[in-house]
Structure 1
């Protein structure tokens, strides 16, 4: 029987977490793209904004957790980005903006950085 070392288990845990984060960001991007192709405030837009907000709020919660292993500066930068995305989502929801592409672009950069 093969015994896993603690380091191997932790490495797999980090890889799995990054994969789940990538999947959540992929879904966010897909929903935002679909919303950007529809009328200014469609059902797709509502779904995309709701999902995007949930993902980024969860990321903020994780980044604020004391046991998060990212460097403090990176965590602070990611929280700032998340806050911008949440504000942009709110502006779209209030029909003050239609900047889906800006959110898509930033989310794509963050997703690609998870490799």
Structure 2
């Protein structure tokens, strides 16, 4: 089986929650890798930072949609976090802040999306 066929089969078998977890794992790993790059080489760090900002922007857009079925307080919290991620990312790019808080927020979201968290919530 080719890698592409495997990835397609895995994607079809994942729940939306599992896909979100996988996406956060991938973008967080990219951020962790970016911390290993000298902060003065921002052009090498921007890809991970921009990817993370785009993920959060998409989440914010989704939560702003009136058809979103998440509870309104949770949607508002996600939108608020997305705004913070955007501001913090800009500060990291300007070398005024560190990447680690972005990683920590993503890890907290991953904990909430983890399969054992879903079972505990049910």
Change (3 A) 1:41 1:64: farther
Name the residue aligned to 2:30: 31
Q: Deviations over 1:10-42 (max 9, x none)?
A: xxx9x6211121111111110110111110043
Name the residue aligned to 2:59: 59
Q: Do the aligned residues in 2 keep the contact of 1:36 with 1:100 (CA within 8 Å)?
A: yes
Q: Unaligned regions of 5+ residues in structure 1, if any?
A: 1-12
Q: Do the aligned residues in 2 keep the contact of 1:63 with 1:75 (CA within 8 Å)?
A: yes
C-alpha separation in 1, matches of 2:50 and 2:105:
17
C-alpha separation in 2, matches of 1:40 and 1:96:
10
Relative to the length of structure 1, the TM-score reads 0.80
Name the residue aligned to 1:3: none
Change (3 A) 1:16 1:41: farther
Does 1:47 find its partner at 2:47? Answer: yes
CA RMSD of aligned residues (A): 1.6
- Offset at residue 62 of structure 1 (A): 0.7
Name the residue aligned to 2:7: none
Alignment coverage as a number of residue pairs: 101
Q: Do the aligned residues in 2 keep the contact of 1:35 with 1:45 (CA within 8 Å)?
A: yes
Q: Secondary structure at the match of 2:37?
A: coil
Flag as ranges the 4+ runs of structure 1 deviating above 6 A.
none
C-alpha separation in 2, matches of 1:61 and 1:32:
22
- With 39-48 and 83-92 compared, the bigger mean Cα shift is at 39-48
Q: Secondary structure at the match of 1:57?
A: helix
Relative to the length of structure 2, the TM-score reads 0.76
Q: Do the aligned residues in 2 keep the contact of 1:53 with 1:89 (CA within 8 Å)?
A: yes
